[in-house]
Structure 1
Amino acid sequence: MFNRRSLIKAMAAAGVAGSAFGLQACSNNVRSTSGKKVVVIGGGFGGSTVAKYIKRYDSSVDVTIIEPKKTYMTCPGSNWYLAGLVDVEYLTHDYESLKSEHDINVIHQMATSVDKAKQTVTLDDGQVLAYDRLVVSPGIDFRWDAIEGYSEEASEILPHAWKAGPQTELLAKQIKEMPQGGRFLMVAPPNPFRCGPGPYERLSMVADYFKRHNPTATIMCLDPKNKFSKQSLFMGGWRELYGQMIEWYGAIDGATVTKIDVENKTVYSEFDTITADVINVIPAQKAGKIAFDIGLTDDSGWCPVHQGTFESKLHKGIYVVGDSCIAGAMPKSGHSASVQGKHCAAAVVTDLNGLDMPAIRTVNTCYSLVGSEYGISVVGVYEPVDGVLKGVEGAGGVSKGAASFEERKKEANYAFSWYQSITKDIWHS
């Protein structure tokens, strides 16, 4: 029989009730006679986790993932690909385990519309799916009007590579083909955006590649912010590994980019007018398009949710996890999305079975490579306070500022282990 105690046991076994890392598997399904249908839009870190853990908490629920891609290339780890440390196959995952081992329906179509009154999702092939609860995990979209001259079409020339796939491969090709002694320029995004340390890990990985293959190249970053995640650790690592190769300028330096001349590869800001051989523009961001279409976003461009359950504040019975949701102090990261997915799965199952959701404490773990054998990390633990996820005082932390080569090398190894563990948990076990 399904009850609150059995759910809490299942959550504990799944690593989301009091666990800091949330990667362990639950071996025993909790069964009920609900016969309910849940549709999940998006098969990334958040959506795939929700689907899998709903089935683990209550195997009687019929779960369908709507995901147009037959394989999913992760953004976490994609910077490593730019350095030549991993290949595309390493970063690419399919849905076969979710289908065969967890009895999840996976439909490779695009969700085109949602009828909230009828509780149906229409797909681009005309198929209509009914749901009792809907979970939306669409990731990010870009604010293409944020910088004059930069558009979706322009990104095929000056790639963003902030959605892994063809853009990642295009940027890698441009890096490899950059002239000896050339300049790589990154235009960093304003807050909030996917993966706070991500742009700075990317600078590091490009430098790692150049150190081996183009040692006289220079790297410049123009950033509309004055600080970024793990800044002192990154900058210390840059000096240690790359000397003066990487130059970073923030808003205080006038580095907010206002215009880009795509054809002439020229960037304009108060700081300077700069021409570069390779320009990586990471635009300002917002929730994925389907979230706007459904009406799940507010004036911020993101999705407000009840942060103990991840149910939308705007539409009851619809849940949002991952980069698109507003989750208090939790950053927009793959780890956050997966942990949110496990809690959301519990919230959906309790909702379907007329139970109260247990109180949550959640976490984000983020490893970054500064060099191929030089890792740093940050961990945050969060719990709802007056309805908002806030950092738990005294929990979490960052890597030591002064550390030996062996310690940095261990953290680099931990980064690869983290990636293998979390992707196995989501797509392969």
Structure 2
Amino acid sequence: MKRRQFVQTLGAGSAVAGLGLLGGCASTGGSSAKVVVIGGGYAGATAAKYVRMFSDYQIDVTLIEPSAMFVSCPISNLVVGGHKTMADITTPYDNLSKRHGVRLVRDRVDSIDATKRTVKLAGGAELPYDRLIVSPGIDFLNDIPGLNKPGAQDKVLHAWKAGPQTAALRAQLEAMPDGGVFAMSIPLAPYRCPPGPYERACMVASYFKQAKPRSKVVIFDANDDITSKKGLFLKAWDEHYKGMIEYRPKHKVVDVDVATSTLKFEFNDDFKAAILNVIPNQSAGSIAVKTGLATANNRWCEVDFLTFESKAQKNIHVLGDAIQVAPLMPKSGHMANQHGKTCAAAVVSLLQGKEPPALPIYANTCYSFVTATDVVHVASVHRYDAEKKTMLTVPGSGGLSAQASALEGQYAMAWARNIWADTLA
């Protein structure tokens, strides 16, 4: 399966990404080259698969992931709204092993020794690497005192990592009496998936409209305004959920009284609701911070965008939502998948003693459901700028939906099926 160029087209609205890459054995002795990948999300799982593929299956790849199954954050808001199930967004990791020979290790990483090039697992094992790919996703800053009390986070959920909290938030909505208020808080950007909170508001309102018509959604946004697809969301709220969704910008949550289900703000009056959905401030996953990779405000990891190699540690590459993004680059599942391929091409080239591809180009498409069937999207194309040493959007590329439509809903589900297959099959 030798390739001189990998061409990727992924789902409706995607652009073509070309990565020049020569096949062949690694210069370190074929299968003796070892790549360890931490984290099996969109970026990490994609990188693990494509390092194997781009090296003609000559490089040994180990993927460390504590979860037994991949659960997708994109589409998870439909589970919250009752339009999909957890099974619909859950995919096994088996094919990475069976089809691509990736060694799967179900464990957590305790520490990284960048000098010895080893990864120590919580279970005690130690794995050597030639190149390490760190894709830890996000963790949450513990800067809301009330949420640090015992049991608080079992009652006030974020559901910003798809999994048990997704199902738990859905259960809270089902148990809430008609006439109750669902209050959601959005942190200051940057955070994972810029349009995600506004999509969630739509999905919760779609459930209320059907089952609890006297209920209401109130959005408290720490930002000055809606951060993504503003006009499209405002139109959807007016057309489908008039009087049911209330949006309040410049509301920064500083504390939560869990006992009384009350939000406390920096400058605004307290607000009590039946359900609180607090999305905290975020940073790169804790292993990245612990290893000293989070060099941007101790929150995000700065990388060389040609290779995704950390600017803090040689031979360690960082991907996905954990990085300090380039201008106008969103923290999205699609973008993380593109990071994984770009990094895989670079890692294989470096292990083969070659220069990494010099002009990575990749796309992002982000779909948002505004009803159970109707969807809007935003798309962009990004190209490496050698002078500025960063990724820049291609002038005239991308754009927004003209309006929400059921056809785009079909595109969105096709996108989901395609990217899950591209990442995991």
How far 1:158 moved relative to its partner? 0.6
Alignment of 1:11-410 (within 5 A): 11-12=6-7, 14-15=8-9, 20-21=14-15, 30-33=23-26, 34-35=30-31, 36-58=33-55, 59-145=57-143, 147-151=144-148, 153-227=151-225, 228-251=227-250, 255-269=251-265, 270-300=267-297, 301-328=299-326, 329-358=328-357, 359-385=359-385, 386-400=388-402, 403=403, 408-410=405-407
1:135-166 CA distances to partner (integer Å, 9 max, x unpaired)? 00000000111x34223742211100011111
2-structure distance, mates of 1:199, 1:106: 33
Aligned residues: 409
Contact 1:7 1:346 in 2 (8 A): no
Post-superposition offset of 1:426: 1.0
- Name the SS for the 1:371 alignment partner: coil
Note the C-alpha offset of 1:23: 9.3
Residues 144, 151 of structure 1: 8 Å contact kept: yes
Residues in 2 aligned to 1:44 and 1:180: alpha-carbon distance in whole angstroms: 36
CA contact (8 A) 1:367 1:375 kept: yes
Relative distance call for 1:22 and 1:420 in structure 2 (3 A) is: farther
- Of 326-335 and 263-272, more deviation after overlay is shown by 263-272
CA shift in 2, pair 1:311/1:291, >3 Å: same
Shift of residue 107, structure 1, vs aligned partner:
0.4
Q: Distance in 2 between matches of 1:51 and 1:303?
A: 20
Distance in 2 of aligned mates of 1:396 and 1:357: 26
Following the alignment from structure 1 to structure 2, what is the Cα–Cα distance between the partners of residues 194 and 313? 22
SS at match of 2:259: coil
Q: Residue 38 of structure 2 contacts residue 136 of structure 2 at CA under 8 Å; is this kept in 1? A: yes
Equivalent residue number for residue 421 of structure 1: 418
The 2-side partners of 1:296 and 1:285 are apart by: 15
Q: Please tell me the residue identity of whatever aligns with 1:217.
A: S
- Alpha-carbon distance change, 299 to 361 in structure 1, aligned in 2, over 3 angstroms: closer
Matching residue's letter, 2:381? V
SS at match of 1:167: helix
- The whole-number CA distance in structure 1 between the counterparts of 2:96 and 2:241 is 43
Contact 2:219 2:247 in 1 (8 A): yes
Q: For 1:98-118, what per-residue CA distance to the aligned partner results, in whole angstroms no more than 9, with x for missing partners?
A: 000001100001111111111
Q: How far apart in 2 are the matches of 1:411 and 1:207? A: 20
Q: Is the 8 A contact 2:303 2:323 kept in 1?
A: yes
Instruction: Provide, for residues 337-390 of structure 1, a one-character-per-residue CA deviation record: whole Å limited to 9, x for no partner.
Output: 001100000010011011112211122110000001211000011112311212
**Cα deviation, residue 256, structure 1:** 1.7
TM-score, length-scaled by structure 1? 0.91
Q: How far apart are residue 320 of structure 1 and its match? A: 0.5
Write out per-residue CA displacement over residues 183-222 of structure 1, whole angstroms, 9 at most, x where no aligned residue: 0000111111000000000000000111111011011011
Structure 2: any 5+ residue segments left out of the alignment?
Answer: none
Q: Quickly say closer, same or farther: Cα 1:93–1:23, change in 2 above 3 A.
A: farther
Q: Give the aligned residue type for 1:211.
A: K
Structure 1 CA distance, aligned partners of 2:16 and 2:37? 21
Pairwise CA distance, 1:20: 4.2
- Give the CA deviation at 1:73: 1.2
Of 303-312 and 292-301, more deviation after overlay is shown by 292-301
Letter in 2 for 1:31: G
TM-score (norm 2): 0.92
How far is 1:231 from its partner? Answer: 1.1
Q: Give unmatched runs, 5+ long, in structure 1.
A: none
2:58 match: secondary structure: coil
Aligned-residue CA RMSD in angstroms? 2.0
Q: 4+ residue stretches of structure 1 with deviation over 4 A?
A: 19-24
Q: Work out the CA distance in 1 between the residues paired with 2:94 and 2:315.
A: 28
SS at match of 1:290: helix
